Amino acid sequence: MISATNEHQELSTLWGQSLQPVHCLNCKVAHLIPGNLESTHCPACFSGRLERQPSVIRREPPELMVNFTISPEQVEMHFKDWVKGIWFRPKELDPNLLSRRVNRTFIPLWLVDGKITGTWQAQMGYDYEVASSQEAYQNGTWRTRKVTETRIRWEARTGTIERRYQNLVVPALEEHAWLITGLGKYKLNLATSYSPLQMDNASIRVPSLLPESAWPLAKSKFDQYSAKDCQMAAEAQHVEEFIIQAAYEDQNWTQLLLPMYTTAYRDEDGIVHTILINGQNGNFFGKKCASQRKARILSLGLLGTALLCFIFGLLFAVGTKFLPILGLFSLTSFILALLVGISAPMPAIWAWNFNRSQD
């Protein structure tokens, strides 16, 4: 662990660039930001201010990283497609404004190395084929067809294991599953060695799952890989009821960084909506809102127009006593009042339904 007094210097050494630990006063998310980055607003929630992180942080530097393959220019083009079809957009839901607010950031994963030694027991399954015949009546005669069926023979097996595994991937953020559900999976096989040159003007999320908290997930990964290795050693096609009693030693934790763009807009009720973009495949993750205020204004305008047409219809109806041709205008006004009145609630209903579908 490193203390707050010398963390800036040691982080710069470990990460190969000047970094400042900060945290958001609103969402409480901790970040590492470049020392030359002047932004004081949180790249996670866009609502809170960033202050220096007074608490201690861990030493683990990144080992691997997935680089940005989507450029900011491509993101701006995606924004234009993303907002298409949204009527009554809030003022800030604008592709140009969203693009100007884009931040480059990285989210972490843990990479865990370690050695596992112990004993195991499992049910190993072996495929075998059973030949039989099947009779079928076709075209007035009985025909025999050979049928081969694959079955599984289960056998109890026990043994010992001693293996060393490297770079087992484990979530480093409590919200990792939620993020990946929205952003889509990253192609981790395209990860390269960490390079400070790729970190220009990018912030980094600090893990909210420390190794002590992430260990149950890491242990599960060790056990999964052990089960596969034991299955291969037993030359089995299937494995069930795998139980292992082992010691997990020589653990080493580093980080794998995933690229993400963040931006945000404020709706007309003052609520900030954050938009996340996968920096590798360009997937968008965020809520698109219609302005219910604009929709209500249009609905009220249509309702007022319908009322005005109805009043004119009444006036024309009275005038028919003196000028019969006004009856035609009266009928037309009543029809317009009916049609516009029926359509008046539609904008407000559409905006409400659209926002509800986004939830």
Long-range pairs, 272-275, Cβ under 8 A, ≥24 = 272/45, 272/46, 272/47, 274/44, 274/45, 274/46, 275/98
Residues 263 and 347 in one domain: no
Question: Rounded to a whole number, what is the distance in angstroms from the first to the last CA of the chain?
Answer: 41
Q: What is the pLDDT of residue 60?
A: 76
- Are both 105 and 190 inside the same structural domain? yes
Do 270 and 322 share a structural domain? no
Shared domain check, 270 and 177: yes
Domain ends where: 284, 301, 330? 284
Q: Are 267 and 303 in a shared domain?
A: no
**Do residues 275 and 317 share a domain?**
no
Helix (H) or strand (E) holding 65: strand 62-65
Q: What are the CA-CA distances from residue 150 to residues 125, 134, 136, 145, 236 (Å)?
A: 12, 16, 21, 16, 14
What is the tens place of the pLDDT at every residue in 297-343? 999 999 999 999 899 888 888 888 788 877 888 888 889 989 988 99
The pLDDT tens digits of the residues spanning 43-102 come to 888 888 888 876 556 667 899 999 999 988 888 888 888 888 888 888 888 888 888 889
Residues 39 and 96 in one domain: yes
Please check whether residues 191 and 322 belong to one and the same domain: no
Query: Where a domain ends, among 284, 307, 328?
Result: 284
Confirm whether 130 is domain-assigned.
no
Q: How far apart are CA 21 and CA 15, in angstroms?
A: 12
At which of 284, 303, 327 does a domain end?
284
Give this prediction's pTM.
Answer: 0.81
Question: What is the distance between the alpha carbons of residues 316 and 329, in angstroms, rounded to a whole number?
Answer: 6
Q: What is the mean pLDDT of each run of 10 residues along the chain (359 residues)?
A: 53 78 87 73 86 68 92 87 86 88 93 96 94 76 82 94 95 94 93 88 90 94 95 94 94 94 89 92 90 90 92 85 81 89 90 83
Q: What is the pLDDT of residue 36?
A: 63
280 shares its domain with 297: no
Per the structure, the complete domain to which residue 304 belongs is given by 293-358
Q: Where are the beta strands (DSSP E) in 84-140?
A: 103-138
Q: Is residue 128 part of a domain?
A: no
Is 160 inside any structural domain? no
Residues 171 and 306 in one domain: no
Compute the distance between CA of residue 8 and CA of residue 332 in angstroms, rounded to an integer.
77
Around 38, how many Cα atoms within 13 Å sit in the side-chain half-sphere?
0
248 assigned to some structural domain: no
For residue 213, what is the enclosing H or E element?
helix 211-233
Cα–Cα distance between 37 and 24 in angstroms, integer? 15
Q: What pLDDT score does 8 carry?
A: 60
